[in-house]
């Protein structure tokens, strides 16, 4: 998969504003920007100012409120006076939107990135998750629900370390 950010606008001014919004990091996983995560969907300028569109990862994700504030702050700090952050549920966010560089940053940070693509139906084959500490594939899911909605808790059977896995969604 190529790392392309499909939604970065072609228009130079909109692209500049996109890059400002893209500096905002996820408060739970500060190594990832909202662009890395695929949360940032669109930036456009119109008669009512700048509209930044973001898509929540999970319906109950408490980080969305602070991401909204951070986007507004980043814009205002860069001199954009009139900015509105719009939250759009459709199409629903998927880990397929995460960039390759985002996945690399996750692994460096000690969180196993999502493996493979989100499937339309159930996948009953247990896909191996690579331990971000020792790269072993001999790992085990402790619980599908981790420290945040988007993560599952795994443990490595070789190095014995527990680790978070950013689950495919």
Partner 1 sequence: MSDNASATRITRGNALRPEDIAVSGLKPSDEVGQYALRLGDDALILAQRLSWWISRAPELEEDVALGNIGLDQLGHARSFLTYAGHAWDKTEDDLAYFRREPEFRSAHLFEQPNGDFACTIARQLVASHFQHELYSRLVDSADETLGAIAAKAVKEVDYHKDHSVQWLLRLGQGTEESRRRMIDGVKLTWPYVEELFEDDDLTTALAEQGVAVLPSELRESFDAAIAAAFEQADLTVPTDPGASGGGRRGHHSEHLGFLLAEMQVLAREYPGASW
Give the binding site for partner 1 (CB under 8 A). Answer: 56, 58-62, 64-66, 68-69, 85-94, 122, 142-147, 149, 153, 169
C-beta of residue 154 within 8 angstroms of C-beta of residue 129: yes
**Rounded-to-integer distance, Cα 71 and Cα 85, Å:** 7
Backbone angles phi, psi at 166, to 5 degrees: -80, 105
Looking at residue 52, the DSSP 8-state letter turns out to be E
Q: Which is nearer to partner 1, 96 or 108 (CB)?
A: 96
Q: Which is nearer to partner 1, 84 or 105 (CB)?
A: 84
Kindly state the smallest distance separating residue 55's Cβ from partner 1, in Å: 9
Q: Are strands 111-112 and 162-166 parallel, antiparallel or unpaired?
A: parallel
Q: Which is nearer to partner 1, 4 or 59 (CB)?
A: 59
- 3-class SS at 50? strand
Cβ neighbours around 136 below 10 Å, total: 15
Q: Which is nearer to partner 1, 58 or 109 (CB)?
A: 58
Q: Which is nearer to partner 1, 15 or 88 (CB)?
A: 88
Kindly state the smallest distance separating residue 146's Cβ from partner 1, in Å: 7
Looking at residue 26, the DSSP 8-state letter turns out to be P
Kindly state the smallest distance separating residue 89's Cβ from partner 1, in Å: 4
Q: Are strands 83-87 and 139-143 parallel, antiparallel or unpaired?
A: unpaired
Kindly state the smallest distance separating residue 12's Cβ from partner 1, in Å: 28
Kindly state the smallest distance separating residue 143's Cβ from partner 1, in Å: 4
C-alpha dihedral over 58, 62, 64, 65, to 10 degrees?
150
């Amino acid at each position: 998969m190529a790392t392309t950010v499909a939604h970065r606008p072609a228009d130079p001014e909109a692209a500049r504003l996109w890059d400002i919004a893209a500096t905002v990091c996820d408060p739970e996983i500060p190594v990832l920007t909202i662009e890395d995560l695929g949360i940032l969907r669109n930036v456009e300028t119109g008669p009512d100012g700048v509209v930044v569109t973001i898509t929540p990862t999970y319906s109950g994700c408490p980080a969305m409120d602070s991401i909204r504030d951070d986007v507004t702050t980043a814009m205002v700090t860069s001199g954009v006076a009139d900015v509105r952050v719009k939250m759009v549920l459709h199409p629903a966010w998927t880990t397929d939107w995460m960039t390759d560089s985002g996945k690399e940053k996750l692994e460096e940070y000690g969180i196993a990135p999502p493996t493979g693509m989100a499937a339309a139906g159930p996948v009953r084959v247990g896909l191996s998750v690579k331990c971000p500490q020792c790269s072993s594939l001999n790992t085990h899911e402790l619980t599908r629900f981790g420290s945040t909605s988007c993560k599952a808790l795994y443990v490595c059977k070789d190095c014995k370390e527990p680790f978070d896995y950013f689950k495919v969604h």
